[in-house]
Structure formats: structure tokens, C-alpha cells
Chains A and B, each alone.
Chain A
Amino acid sequence: MILLKMIMKNAFRRKMRTGLTIVAMGIAILAFGMLRTVLTAWYAGVDASSASRLVTRNSVSLIFPLPLAYYDKIRHTSGVRAVSYGNWFGGIYISEKNFFANFAVEPRSYLGLYPELMVPEKQKADFLRDRRGFIAGRKLADRFGWKIGDNVTLKGTIFPGDWDFVLRGIYEGRTKTVDETMFMFSWDYLNEGVKKMYPSMANQVGFYVIGVADPNLSAEVALEIDAMFANSRAETLTESERAFVMGFISMTEAIVMVIRIVSLVVIVIILAVVANTMAMTTRERFGEYAVLKTLGYSGWHIGSLIMGEALLITLAGCLLGLAMTYPMVRFFTTELGAYFPIFYVEPLTVWLDFGVAALVGTAAAIIPMRQAIRIRIADGLRRIG
């Protein structure tokens, strides 16, 4: 109806002002979307972790190892379905800026415990057969252009020397939250190397991963394992994988908090910008609103003109912001993929963007609407004369 047409036309009467407000809104949505996506990336690890897996590590600290000899004891604890183990390798590929996570793991049991890492059967068999073989996530392989059969050398930091590997498989995540930037090779290969160079460090593992038969009993299983090694030379701490991952994240909880606050600040600032635009707009059109009222239009008709214009501006800004968010996220994934292995725009983020736009538009319109609804015609008309 005619009000709709007036909303459209009114919005673009001051092209510069409306344009700038839309751009500001777009940038706010971009900032909001990026911050949320960073948060998503942060918590993706938690979401991806399984409730049916436990992680056992040295109770003193992650950097102290555990004897390989614990394997059999853990394996035979009641409620334990499968056990794997591994070490953080910390190798560097050519240069430090090529950072990615790399582990030595007992391959067969590890892949058994992580069904979300999908490796084609043939590649998996090749990987298990080749002592120097490794598997890489799809994103990692794409990042360096690795092909199956390629030789890759990592420079050890914790385990010095050049370590040569052959790419035998590329895994893909079953869901989007699976990290596709990891590098995993055979623990036996690591252990042989260590045996030669540092015999005293051989047969030590950084962590055990335990699959429990019944996730409801994982707390009991964890207690039992830790009790088993209490008062030994290397006491253990067993927790759910989720808690283990959260342990990493909690270190950065303050940063997460800052991000949340900044998101809120962004919304408040853009609200002020849009509210200011709407206040100026309404002040300029007071006379017109008075005329509409004279003709018999109600305060609500006029309110909807104002609200409609505010929403038009914020939603246009939202679309602009979204249009900028996707290329930005793509840039992040290609340039900074190592630090944000799971970086994608969640559908929820898009909904929240629209929610923010609707909220800002509505809130910005409320005060001008109140003024326009209350405007006394005689006063409004006098402003024209």
C-alpha cells in the first residue's frame, strides 16, 4: 500500500545519510558476525569432542609423559572398550609460520576411536602398512598442495632432527566441526627414532585416549584408572575429552569474555548511529506527519512509517554486512587457517545478524515513533508555517 511506497522513498531522500547509515550497519554486522564466528571456532573443539572418550595424562602437567606400560592396565580396566595413545610432536614444516597440529599416535586404535575422521579404506590400509606414513586433514593437504605419496619432512622441536614422512591418506570430517588441519603419524616411528637418540625417553607417551563402553559410567572409569596409578612414579589425571578440551579453552576464557563484551559494544554503538539518523529524519518530517494526521492517518500509521524506514535501513545494512562476512571468513580460513582450523559462518550467526538488525531497527525507531504518535497536529503544522 501507499505507506510502503512512502517508506521506500523516504528512506532514500537523504541518500548520503541513509547510505552512510547502511554502511555503518553493514560494518557492525560484519564485526558482529566475525566475532561470533571466532567464538564458534573456539568452541568447535568442545562440540566436536566426544562424551564417550576419556583422556589420561600425567597429573602433574601435560608436558610430563606416562609410561607405555600403563597401556595394558588401562586396557583391562572394566568399562574400557578401546585404548589408544600418542604424543604431541610439535614438528615444524619448513618454517614456523606454517604452524599446524601434528601428533604421533597408535594408528589403528586411534582411527578406531575417532570415527569422525573419515579416511578412504585403501588409504587407511596404506597408512597402517607404512611405518613412515602419515594422514593429513583435507584442509591441511589443500593448504600445502600435498598429494598422496608426497614426501614431507618435519623439523622436530621436542624431538630434534629431520623426520621424513610419506602422505598415505587424507581424512575428511564427518561434520563441519571436525578439525581438518591435523597431521598424524605412527607412534612406533617416533619411538624408534627416540630409542636411537635418547634411549631414556623411549616408551613414553604423552596421553592415552580411552573409549568407554558406557558414557554414563565414564566418571567411574576415570576414577578407577587414576586410583590404579595413585602413588606410582607417574600419577595420572583422567577426564572426559570435553573437559580436557575445555581445559585448553579456559586458559583463554578471559579473551572469550572480551569478545562477548565487544560484540555487545558494537551493537550499542550501531544502535546509537541508527537512532541518531532516525531522530534527524523524524524531526525533518514532523510537518509531513502532522499533515498525514490532519488527513485522518493515525499515530500508528505514522509510527509504522518510521519503524519501516528504520528496519529498511538496518536490514539493508545486515545484507551488506553478510555480503562482506563471507569473503572475510574465506580470507581468514585461507590465511589464518592454522589458528582457526574450524572457521565457518554458523547458520545461527546469520539468524543472529538478522536478529540484531531487527532489534537495532526497532529500538532506534521507538523514541521517534513516540514523538510522532504524540505530535499535536496544530503544533506540527505551525512548524511548516
Chain B
Amino acid sequence: MQDPSSIVEIRGVSKSYRRGSHVVPVLSDITFDIARGEFLAIMGPSGSGKSTLLNLIAGIDRVDTGTIVVGGEDITSLSETELARWRAGNVGFIFQFYNLMPVLTAFENVDLPLHLTGLSRSQRREHVEMALAMVNLTDRMEHYPAQLSGGEQQRVAIARAIVIDPVLLVADEPTGDLDRKSAEDVLNLMDRLNREMGKTIIMVTHDPHAAERAHLLRHLEKGVFNST
């Protein structure tokens, strides 16, 4: 059952939220694998549990039952602190609303995850400059998020996600807030990261254009995968 080429193994995962007195089931008994180097898109109607599933895989939310193994590590058995440390070293996040720190420059935003590593100042600078070059924003390093367009902000966010050289990139509606041109840039970038750097990418979206760019598409509906 265990496939050595899988980077993510999800086994019987269920998740529900408590809303007041009654329990809302969100995911029920989900089992699937994601291969190393995959570019997976998860689609589905709003409220179907896409974000919840992504959060579970990325280790920012907890399963009710089931296990999730990422890169050989059973993240469902980690403590809160261990999980934070694991995320810091293994997962790059891209959000719909970029989520940059408004008080920090593009450079500092990308530098932020590196402060949790043991890298020296000059090593960090090197990594940050490389990441910003990769998203083609070298000339915007000293700009604050408010001085950047949405597309540029999302590219800074991508630089922040890849600067730690993560095993896994997760993106929740990365183009949801962008115009067509900027969305295209971001998708091209993700495609390059996948092809040239071999990054495994899991992208949640309800934009068919975005989903097209992925190599594999899965539909989530009412907490279960539809076979496609």
C-alpha cells in the first residue's frame, strides 16, 4: 500500500467543526497519495472542504481521525511545537491574499522564515536575493507591500514560500484575487517551480484556468473525492 514515490500519504482522514451545539462534518474518510514532484489541483464548490484539507496536509490544522504522512514524517503525531518546527522547514505557503507583513519590505518578508533557521546573515541575504530573482522582483526588494501591485505581492509571497527550499508547496486560491495577467504570471511561476525545481505543489482553486495548469486534478465535493 505504501508507495515509496509518494510524498504525501493520507489515510482515512476525517475532520469536522463544531458550530455551536452541532457538529459540521467537513471531510469524511479521505484516503489518497500525492506523488513526489506532482502538481495537483483540488477543485470543488465553495465550502466543500478544500482549504481544510490543504491546512491538514500543511500541518496548520489537526485531523479528527486518520493519519497524514509527509516526506516520511507522520505529522498527525507531532506536538504543536514540533509541528511548527516541521512547517518552518518543510512547507511553503501561498495564500489568496498574499499575507505579507505590511511593516516589512519585500526583502524582509522573504527573509522572515529564514530567521528561524541557523543561517548567518550573509547566507540569508544570498537565499533571499536568489528567491527574489527567481520571481523577477530584484528591483522591488526595498518596497513595502503597499507599494506593490497584487501580482507583485503574490510573487513576493511565492519567494517567501520557496526561500526555505520546502519539500511541499501549498497554495490556497493563489490567483483568486488577481487580474488575468498577474494570475498568468503566478501560474507560470508555479509551473516553473514544479518543472525546473521539482517542487511538489498542491493548489486549491475554483478557477478552471488555474486548474488547467496542474498535471492532476481532483474534485472535492461535500468532503469526499469524486472520481474523475
Using a CB–CB distance below 8 Å, which chain A residues touch chain B?
A: 1-2, 5-6, 9-10, 13, 287-288, 291-298, 376-378, 381, 384-385
Complex Cα distance A298/B101, Å? Answer: 16
CB of B103 within 8 A of CB of A13, answer yes
Contact of A10 among B87, B103, B111, B113 (CB under 8 A): B103
- Shortest Cβ distance from residue A348 to the other chain B in the assembled complex, whole angstroms: 38
List residues of chain B with CB within 8 A of the CB of A384. Answer: 95, 97, 99
Contact A291 B61 (CB under 8 A): no
- Asked if B123 lies at the interface with its beta carbon under 8 angstroms from chain A, I say no
Q: Can you list 30 A-B pairs, Cβ within 8 angstroms, ordered by A? A: A2-B112, A5-B108, A6-B101, A6-B103, A6-B104, A9-B104, A287-B99, A291-B101, A292-B112, A294-B58, A294-B60, A294-B87, A295-B87, A295-B93, A295-B113, A295-B116, A296-B84, A296-B85, A296-B87, A296-B88, A296-B113, A376-B61, A377-B55, A377-B61, A378-B52, A381-B60, A381-B95, A381-B99, A384-B99, A385-B97
Q: Looking at B55, B108, B111, B112, which has the most chain A CB atoms within 10 Å of its CB?
A: B112
Residues of B within 8 A of A381 (CB): 55, 60, 95, 99
**How long is the Cα–Cα vector from A384 to B95 in the complex, in angstroms?**
10
B52, B81, B84, most chain A CB atoms within 10 A: B84
Q: How far is the CB of A223 from chain B (nearest CB, A)?
A: 72
The number of A-B residue pairs with CB atoms under 8 Å apart is: 67
Decide: B115 and A1 in contact? CB cutoff 8 A: yes
Q: Is B96 an interface residue (CB 8 A)?
A: yes
- State the B residues within 8 Å of A (CB): 52, 55, 58, 60-61, 81, 84-85, 87-89, 93, 95-97, 99, 101-104, 108, 111-113, 115-116, 160
B103 lies within 8 A of A298 (CB): no
Q: Name the one of A5, A288, A297, A378 contacting B61, with C-beta atoms under 8 angstroms.
A: A378
B93 — which chain A residues lie within 8 A by C-beta? 294-295
By secondary structure, the B interface counts as: helix
7 closest residue pairs by CB, A with B: A296-B88, A9-B103, A377-B60, A378-B61, A291-B99, A295-B113, A296-B87
B158 → A minimal CB distance (Å): 14
Question: In the assembly, what is the distance between CA of A381 and CA of B111, in Å?
Answer: 21
Chain B residues whose CB sits within 8 angstroms of the CB of A287 once the complex forms: 99
- Closest CB in chain A relative to B175 CB, distance in Å: 14
A3 to B61, CA, bound (A): 25
Report the minimal beta-carbon distance from B50 to chain A, rounded to whole angstroms.
12
Contact (Cβ within 8 A) B111 A2: yes
Cβ-defined contact, B108 with A385, below 8 A: no
Q: Which residues does chain A contribute within 8 Å of B88, judged by CB atoms?
A: 295-296
| Cα–Cα, bound, A287→B160 (Å) | 17
Note all chain A residues with C-beta closer than 8 A to B95: 291, 381, 384
Q: Please give, as numbers and ranges, the residues of chain B lying within 8 Å of A10 by CB-CB distance.
A: 103
Nearest residue, chain A, Cβ from B157? A291
Pair B115/A378 contact, Cβ less than 8 Å? no
Cα distance A294–B59 in the bound complex, in angstroms: 9
The CA of A376 and the CA of B84, in the complex, are separated in Å by 12
Find chain B residues with CB under 8 A from A288 CB: 99, 101-102
Beta-carbon contact of A298 and B81 below 8 Å: yes
Judging by beta carbons under 8 Å apart, are A295 and B112 in contact? yes
Task: Point out the residues of chain B lying under 8 angstroms from A296, CB to CB.
Answer: 84-85, 87-89, 113, 116
CB contacts (< 8 Å) of A376 on chain B: these are 61
Cα–Cα distance between A288 and B111 once the two chains are bound (Å): 16
A53 CB, nearest partner CB in chain B, Å: 63
Q: Which residues of A contact B112 (CB under 8 A)?
A: 2, 292, 295
> By the criterion CB–CB under 8 Å, are B113 and A385 in contact?
no
CA distance A10 to B104 in the complex (A): 10
Interfacial chain A residues near B101, Cβ < 8 Å:
6, 288, 291-292
Q: Which A residues are in CB contact (< 8 Å) with B99?
A: 287-288, 291, 381, 384
Extra 19 A-B pairs, beta carbons < 8 Å, given A2-B111, A295-B116, A297-B84: A2-B112, A2-B115, A6-B101, A9-B103, A9-B104, A13-B102, A293-B60, A294-B58, A294-B60, A294-B87, A295-B87, A296-B84, A296-B116, A297-B116, A377-B55, A377-B60, A378-B60, A381-B95, A381-B99
